[in-house]
Amino acid sequence: MEKVAVDYEKMYYGFPAILISFYDVNGTPNVTTISSSYTLRDMVALGFNSKGYAVNQIKAVKDFVINVPDRTLSTAVEFCGTHTGYEQSKFDSLELTPVKSPNVNAPAIKECPITIECTLTEAYEREPFKGIINVVAQIKGRYVAKHLLDENGRLELSGLDNIIYAGDGKVRGFRYLQASV
Ligand SMILES: Cc1cc2nc3c(=O)[nH]c(=O)nc-3n(C[C@H](O)[C@H](O)[C@H](O)COP(=O)(O)O)c2cc1C
């Protein structure tokens, strides 16, 4: 395969867009979009721009929920990723419903088919990557919509329609796990 060297400032080679919901220090629910995440067993790691409202609230309140949206929520994903919680509770502008979580003090989003309860264990910002906060968290609970479960209660992979974010810093956009619906 012949390749060309490129000098993009970013290479997002396809990551699931997720919605991070939390109660801020005043108890108001809010939400933001990220695509920087990975998980291994009961650990999840997330990458945030250090100036954002969500990450600075989560550093204080510790609990949050990872909500995995499907393509029907693409507009909300874009909205939460282009507006800041410093100015508003984004739930007020969206048809998303924050609901209490059993194991953490953070709201889950009713309309998202997969939700994961988390508690922050570590947040750090270090040279040479100043401006980026890595959040490491412990998973406290996982929930999956019934239509995504097979008869054994395992994930029905063919039903997933996650939003995949890809781009090179200038070109950016969404792809979907399902070829069509
Ligand atoms: C698809 C998408 C993916 C994004 N991924 C990230 C990310 O991984 N980390 C991050 O800090 N911001 C990411 N952003 C940008 C934030 O969502 C954006 O800066 C937002 O306004 C921050 O809101 P807040 O100030 O309420 O936290 C993403 C935005 C979009 C639309």
Top mutation candidate among 22, 23, 34 for ligand 1, by most atoms within 8 Å of CB: 34
pLDDT tens per residue across span 162-172: 999 999 999 99
Task: Say whether 14 sits in a helix, a strand or coil.
Answer: strand
Residue whose CA is closest, atom 29 of ligand 1? 81
pLDDT tens per residue across span 108-155: 999 999 999 999 999 999 999 999 999 999 999 999 999 999 999 999
If one counts every other C-beta atom within 10 angstroms of the C-beta of residue 75, the result is 10
Sheet (strand 163-167) strand order? 12-16, 163-167, 172-176
Q: pTM for the full model?
A: 0.98
Residue whose CA is closest, atom 9 of ligand 1? 48
